[in-house]
Structure 1
Amino acid sequence: MKEQSSGSPPASHLSFDQFMAVDIRVGRVTSAVLNPRARRPAYVLTIDLGPLGQRTSSAQLTANYRAEELVGRQVVAVCNFPPKNVAGINSEVLVLAAVCPERGTVLLSPDQPVGEGVRIL
């Protein structure tokens, strides 16, 4: 097995049922504002997940994205982790991104528009 580009070892195997238990969906960012309480610069994102409603996320994306260019963008998020308090924000979903030394944090998104709340399989 090849080593991942980040230098971390490959993750252990999981079953297909375990993968299917992770609820990953497409959402659209409706609001992005800087979180003044974050130790490392981060945005508070409000994300429209269609039938799941609006959810909030804290995301360290300031190096590659301006708040105004995030609004309207589709993102991919894990929706069934328990909420977590991150710098005073109730972060309800985890926005997915590639984190690499060369480019920093790069958001994952569909390459064509899809409906909000569409599940990723």
Structure 2
Amino acid sequence: MYAAYLATTLLAAALTGSAAVANLIGHSYPKSQADLVHVDHRWILPLGLLLGAGAAGLLVGLAVPVLGSVAAGGLVLYFLGALTAHLRVGDRSLAPWSLYFLTCTGALVTAVLYR
């Protein structure tokens, strides 16, 4: 069980960390997604900070289990909010979203089961 917990946690941290970096450096992909779902560009930086905090929390959770579970839960809620934003505007291309959501959900489930 530890191997599954470690693998899902590291994968979720890597994915959300890369998304955080994309937001924080002003990459065009987060901007195009913000335009698609009618989110003001002023929200890109705070959303990137949330993703970065989630990724860091997942890694800290390897040493402090409760923080990892809280971080994974927060990321699951973050991506449920993203789903709501995409569905609100009729966007049905959810493959990137599902990758992030399922990975963070896997990290949460394995963290709870392992501990």
TM-score of the pair, normalised by structure 1: 0.24
Which protein has greater RCO, CA pairs closer than 8 Å, 6+ apart? 2
Bigger helix share: 2
Relative to its length, the structure with more strand (as a share) is 1
Q: TM-score, normalised by structure 2?
A: 0.24
